[in-house]
Amino acid sequence: MFIGLNKNSKPDLNTVKAFLNQFTHSSLVEGWADKQGFVTQAKSGDITVTFPFASAGLIEELRGWIERQKVAGEDAPELAISQKVAPLKASEKPLIKGVKNVIVVSSAKGGVGKSTTSVNLALALRAQGAKVGILDADIYGPSLPIMLGTKGRQPTTLDGKTMEPIEAHGLFSNSIGYLVPDENAMVWRGPMASKAFSQLVNETHWPDVDYLVVDMPPGTGDIQLSLAQQFPVTAAVVVTTPQDLALADAIKGVAMFEKVAVPVLGVVENMSYHICSQCGHHEPIFGQGGAEKMATEHGLSLLAQVPLHISIREDIDAGAPTVASKPESEHSEVYLALAEKVASQLFWRGEPVAEQISITTLGE
């Protein structure tokens, strides 16, 4: 039976929660309105809904649903609806100063589109209403400066100790590519690379970002393992392509994170199918169903299937990633849905920590 609200009296909190629980969405769990902090009432009686993850799309849908109830004759309540991203527990490590959640994007193999995915995911999280940082940890081949159109810029410092991230398309970014010429980065070996990475993470003045997306170096070796262990990773996303070999490698990537107890949120299948730029035909040139099979076999979620399309490449290579330059496009929709899944699944699988803990710096 649908729970409506009494027209003539101010509805009480429990009735409003029961009413809201009738709104279902893939980013929510059953009985979501009863979860702590989601629906609260101020002393004045005003009721507020607050989602603890990036949720602009979800908020729009909830508002639409409430409007439809009004049309259907229900006296839907006046609610303030907003989002405030919660910091989540990441292993036993203290959170990085100015960062609530760290999402690492990794791939077992080079060239599968890990950086393209990282950048568009970061932009999509921003489009979902979050404040987002992006860190290029690909110390051997930093591509962020080109992808964000920030090549040649260098971080400044305000306090003589930390670097100010470089802002581009609304993201706060840092990359080894801003600090050293390309040819120098290439020759770095293990410990040096590790140190450079740690400096990038801890010596950037992250301005209270909800999510820090970290573009990891490709591979599943010692370097990747040590990077993943060095800082508080909330969860990992593994990028793969549909080819069998890349899939077999992706399994290694998942196993690596399991070793260091980093939860893997799921797999993004990049270049999943080809969209013809002439006629829009969808063609699964690398085969079909591989990532889905792998995800199911390993109990992982297939977070997104991103098409191979010339405009995704042209946009990012020109420093104007698709989600920023063509926010209404079919491709951006794929990334926006990915961000919605990543943000909500991160929250539901995680454990919120008190906000003030995020003020602690690593090593303090």
Ligand X SMILES: Nc1ncnc2c1ncn2[C@@H]1O[C@H](COP(=O)(O)OP(=O)(O)OP(=O)(O)O)[C@@H](O)[C@H]1O
Residue 189 region, left (φ>0) first, then alpha (ψ -120 to 50), else beta?
beta
Can you name the residues that pair with 103 across neighbouring β-strands? 213, 235
Is residue 308 a contact point for ligand X (CB under 6 A)? yes
Say whether 110 counts as a known binding-site residue.
Answer: yes
Residue 284 region, left (φ>0) first, then alpha (ψ -120 to 50), else beta?
beta
Q: Which residue has the tokens 């035909």?
A: 281
Instruction: Out of 218, 232, 242, 290, name the contact with ligand X by CB under 6 A.
Output: 218
Helix 330-349 to helix 56-71 angle, to the nearest 10 degrees? 90
Q: In terms of CB distance, is 87 or 113 closer to ligand X? A: 113
CA 241 to CA 286: how far, in whole Å?
8
Q: Are 135 and 215 in contact (CB under 8 A)?
A: yes
Query: Contact letters (x/-) for ligand X, 67-106, by CB under 6 A?
Result: ----------------------------------------
In the chain, what is the straight-line distance between the N-terminal and C-terminal CA atoms, in Å? Answer: 54
For every residue of 104-136, DSSP letters joined together read EEE-SSTTSSHHHHHHHHHHHHHHTT--EEEEE
Q: In what order do the strands lie in the sheet with 47-51?
A: 39-41, 47-51, 80-83
Say whether 342 counts as a known binding-site residue.
Answer: no
Is residue 16 a contact point for ligand X (CB under 6 A)? no
What 3-state class would DSSP assign to 225?
Answer: helix
Say whether 9 counts as a known binding-site residue.
Answer: no
Say whether 115 counts as a known binding-site residue.
Answer: yes
Q: In terms of CB distance, is 81 or 334 closer to ligand X? A: 334
Is residue 325 a contact point for ligand X (CB under 6 A)? no
Instruction: Out of 306, 324, 338, 339, name the contact with ligand X by CB under 6 A.
Output: 306
Instruction: Out of 313, 330, 349, 357, name the contact with ligand X by CB under 6 A.
Output: 313
Q: Which residue has the tokens 């409003």?
A: 16
Q: In terms of CB distance, is 11 or 113 closer to ligand X? A: 113
- Minimum Å gap between C-beta 315 and ligand X is 8
- Minimum Å gap between C-beta 155 and ligand X is 21
Q: In terms of CB distance, is 47 or 144 closer to ligand X? A: 144
Q: Which residue has the tokens 């809201």?
A: 20
Instruction: Out of 27, 150, 270, 325, name the contact with ligand X by CB under 6 A.
Output: 270
Number of residues that bind ligand X (CB under 6 A): 21
Instruction: Out of 56, 236, 264, 316, name the contact with ligand X by CB under 6 A.
Output: 316
Tokens representing residue 248 in the block: 């077999």
Query: Contact letters (x/-) for ligand X, 27-66, by CB under 6 A?
Result: ----------------------------------------
Say whether 10 counts as a known binding-site residue.
Answer: no
CA 98 to CA 207: how far, in whole Å?
5
Sequence-separated (6 or more) residues with CB below 8 Å from residue 356 = none
Instruction: Out of 77, 87, 113, 129, name the contact with ligand X by CB under 6 A.
Output: 113
Instruction: Out of 138, 210, 249, 269, name the contact with ligand X by CB under 6 A.
Output: 138
Q: Pick the piece of the chain touching ligand X (CB under 6 A) from 4-12, 297-305, 307-315, 346-354.
A: 307-315
Q: Pick the piece of the chain touching ligand X (CB under 6 A) from 170-178, 193-201, 282-290, 301-309.
A: 301-309
CA 272 to CA 240: how far, in whole Å?
9
Q: Using CA atoms in the order 106, 110, 111, 114, what is the torsion angle rounded to 10 degrees?
A: 10
Is residue 115 a contact point for ligand X (CB under 6 A)? yes
Binding site, residues? 108-115
Q: Site residues (CB under 6 A) for ligand X?
A: 107, 110-116, 138, 141, 143, 218, 270-271, 306, 308-309, 312-313, 316-317
